[in-house]
Structure 1
C-alpha cells in the first residue's frame, strides 16, 4: 500500500461526500468533486426501466437520478438507503421495473463504488483504505442489530475493493475542526439538521481527547426526530403556494347548507416529495377532475389540474424551498407561478414563513434540550452549539436553537461537508 491510498466517506442519509489526501489543503484532506463540480452528491440511485440494455441495470446517481425521476422517466428511485442497514431488508430484493429486481445490499454497494471510482479518477490512485462515518446508533436500543448494520456497511465497502475499513461517529467527525481550535475541555451540542432528520449529539472535545483513536466515550448522548428540511418546504408550500390552487378554500353553499372546505388530501400529497409522482396517474387525475363540484372558484380547480397534467408538483416544491431560503436572507420572497397560469405569482413574507414553521422549529428545539438532558447536563453547561447539515442555513431555526442555549457559542460548520471533512482528519490520524 502507498502512503496516500486512503479516503474517508460520509455515506449520508440525504447526501454523501468523499475526502482524499491533499498536502496542499490546510487540513491535509480535500473533498472530491462528485457531480457538476459539487463536493456532495444526493444519496440516491435511479434504475432506468426504459431504453436499451435493461439487463445490465442502467442507473443514474445523485442529482441526475433525481432529475430523471422528477421528469417522469420510467424507473425506480432509491433514496435513504442507509436506513435499511441493520434490517432484514438488506438481503431482500426490490422491484426496479421491467421485470427486474435488485437487493438493497447491491444498491448500497453500487453507490459506494460510484463514490470510490470518482475519488480514484480525481487522485489517479487506487484507494485501498477507508474511514466510514456512522451514526451513534444505526438502530436504537438494539446492540445486536446495530453491530449488524455496521458489519453490513463494512461488507459493502470491502465488496468495492477497500481492504481496510475504519469507522468514526458522525457527530464527533463534524466537531473535529472545532476541537482543533479549543484550548480546554468543552461540551459541544452538534446539531445536524438535513433534509429528513434533525439529529443532536452532545460530545466532549479538547486537547486531551483529540489524539485518541477510540472516542466512543466522548459521545455523551444523542437524540433526534424526523422533522427537517423537506418538512419545512412542505409547510411553506401549504402556506403560500397551494392556497392559489384551492387549499383551504371553500366550495359553494348548496341547498342552504354551509359551504364545505375543499378536500385537503390532494394538497398534502402534492406537498410530500416522495408521493408527488403518484398524483400523475390517470386514476388520481380523474379523481381531481371529479372534485370540480367542490370548488366555488373554478379557476382554482383548473390551476390544480394544470399542475397535475403538466407534472409540476416537484417544481412547486423546489420553488417553496427557494422561497424559504430567500425569506431567511431578506424578509420576503416572490414566487413565480407563471408555469401554472400566466402572470400568477405569490409573495412569501417573513412573518408568514415563521408562522408556518413555528411548530416544527419548537419541536426541534425541544429535541435539542432532551439530548442535553440525556447527557446529564444543564443547558448552561453547553459551551458550543455546532451547526451542520443543509437545513442549518435557515436562520429562523439556528436563531431559535441559539436562544435555547444562550451560554453556548454558535459555530457554523460546512453545511453539507463538515462530517466528510472531519472523517478525513480522522483518516489522516489513523493512516497517514
Structure 2
C-alpha cells in the first residue's frame, strides 16, 4: 500500500459505547465534491449543510474585479462567477488529482504564484467557514484514498501536501483516515451483528476498497483486514465519452499535411488533454493554441480544429463536462441517452447506447475488478467469506460497476447508499475520542 497507509490501518479500533463530551468532525475533500460531517456527543452523526446543500463542489474561480484587483470564489459561487464571464476568469478543478504529482509545484494566476497546498487551503477555508464554531475544539479526521491519482503514486508526498493544505486552512492538527474505511464505519452504524464487509468507495478520481471486520461488542470493535485502490473512477468514464463522441468531431482521428507532403495524424495528445478536467486549463497556453491553428491550416477538416480552438479559448469546457456528466448519469437509468451540447457555431447531438458506453469503459472496469481482487487478497479473505458488500460514491450507480460485485458476491449481499455523504460521516465517527 502506498504511503504507509496499510501499516497504519491493519489494527483493531475500539469504539466508545458511551457518549463523548465534544464533537468530532469528518472532512471528505474530494476530486469533484467535498462534504463535512459531525458526530455529536450523543453518538449521532449529521452532515453539515451549506446554504446550497450538503455537497460542495471542489472548484475555485479567479478573476480580476472592476478595480483590477484579484478576486476568487469557491464551490457553487465559483461556478456562478465562471459562467458569468468564462473568458475573463480561470476555473480550477480536480485539485486533489495533483496531490501525488511531484512535477506540479506551482501555477501562476493573475500574476501570483500559488502552490498546490495554498490553492487547496484557499478552497478549504471557504468550505469550512460556516462551521468554525463546530470545529473549535473538535477532533478532526480528513480522508485520503488508498491510492492517489498519478502515474506513479507517491502517497507520502500526497498526504504531506494534504496535511499542508489543511494547515493553510487553519487546521494544523488533523488525523488522516482511509476513505473506504470511513464509509465502512458509517455502514457499521446499522449493523447489529458481527460481519466481514467489503467497502467500495468510488470518487471522481479514485476507486478504493477496504475489507473490514465489525463486531458490535460490547465493546464495539472494527478491524481493518486489507485495502486496495486504483487511480481511476468517474472522471475516467467521462473521458471515454468525450474521447469517443466529442473529440472525433473536433479533429481527432483526422489528418493534416506538411508542405504538401503525406498526411500526418492530428496530434492525439491534444485530445487526451482536452478530455481530462484537470488538464484542460493548460491547453489555453498560447503556444498550444498556435500549434493547433497551424495544423488547422492544412488539415483535411480544418473546421473541426477551429471548433476545438473556439471551445478552449472561450472556456466552454465546463459546460461540456456538465453535459457529459449528465448523459453518463442518464445511462445508469436508461438503455440509451442523448448528449446534447452547443457552443457558438459548434453543435453536437449524439445518441449513446449503454452497451457502447460499457464497451468504452471496459479497460477501467477490468482495473477496478482487479483492485477488488487485490483487496480480498490483501485481507486473506475469500469472496464467500464476505458477509456484506457496501458500495458508495456516484460511480457505484453505473450498472456495469455494480455488476462487478453482484457477479462475485450475489445480489443479496450487495448494498449501496449515502453515495455522496457516507465517507464524511464515517470520518466523523472515526474522529470520536475514545472514553
Residue 243 of structure 2 corresponds to residue 238 of structure 1: yes
Structure 1 contact 187–204 (Cα < 8 Å) conserved: yes
Deviation at 1:142, TM superposition (A): 9.5
Of 13, 18, 25 in structure 2, the residue corresponding to residue 7 of structure 1 is: 25
Residue 74 of structure 2 corresponds to residue 61 of structure 1: yes
Residue 423 of structure 2 corresponds to residue 419 of structure 1: yes
Other structure's SS at 2:141 match: strand
Please give the per-residue CA displacement for 1:125-175, whole angstroms capped at 9, x wherever unaligned.
673213313447689999987996787578567x45x8x855554323212
Separation (CA, whole Å) in 1 of partners of 2:281 and 2:305 = 19
Q: Give the superposed CA RMSD.
A: 4.2
Other structure's SS at 2:332 match: helix
Aligned to 1:31: 47
**Runs of 5+ consecutive residues of structure 1 not aligned to the other structure:** none
Aligned to 2:213: 204
Structure 1 contact 46–65 (Cα < 8 Å) conserved: yes
Q: How does 1:251-330 map to 2 (within 5 A)?
A: 261-292=265-296, 295-330=299-334
Separation (CA, whole Å) in 2 of partners of 1:227 and 1:155 = 28
Other structure's SS at 2:216 match: coil
Of 111, 130, 137 in structure 2, the residue corresponding to residue 118 of structure 1 is: 130
Of 406, 413, 431 in structure 2, the residue corresponding to residue 409 of structure 1 is: 413
Structure 2 contact 31–97 (Cα < 8 Å) conserved: yes
**Runs of 5+ consecutive residues of structure 2 not aligned to the other structure:** 1-19
Other structure's SS at 2:181 match: helix
Separation (CA, whole Å) in 2 of partners of 1:154 and 1:284 = 34
With normalisation by structure 2, the TM-score equals: 0.77
Deviation at 1:414, TM superposition (A): 0.9
Deviation at 1:88, TM superposition (A): 9.0
Instruction: Compare 4-13 and 325-334 and name the one that shifted more.
Output: 4-13
Deviation at 1:9, TM superposition (A): 2.4
Instruction: Compare 168-177 and 361-370 and name the one that shifted more.
Output: 168-177
Aligned to 1:430: 433
Please give the per-residue CA displacement for 1:165-218, whole angstroms capped at 9, x wherever unaligned.
555543232123332333432221111111111111111113138734xx5xx1
Of 228, 240, 260 in structure 2, the residue corresponding to residue 223 of structure 1 is: 228
Deviation at 1:223, TM superposition (A): 1.2
Instruction: Compare 411-420 and 8-17 and name the one that shifted more.
Output: 8-17
Please give the per-residue CA displacement for 1:81-103, whole angstroms capped at 9, x wherever unaligned.
59649x999xx984543443455
Please give the per-residue CA displacement for 1:379-426, whole angstroms capped at 9, x wherever unaligned.
222222211123222222122232233387111121111011223344
- CA change 1:6–1:156 in 2 (3 A) is farther
With normalisation by structure 1, the TM-score equals: 0.78
- CA change 1:59–1:117 in 2 (3 A) is same
Please give the per-residue CA displacement for 1:58-81, whole angstroms capped at 9, x wherever unaligned.
432224335656824445737535
- CA change 1:347–1:108 in 2 (3 A) is closer
Other structure's SS at 1:192 match: strand
Instruction: Compare 172-181 and 378-387 and name the one that shifted more.
Output: 172-181
Other structure's SS at 2:337 match: strand
Q: RCO greater where, 1 or 2, for CA within 8 Å and sep 6 or more?
A: 2
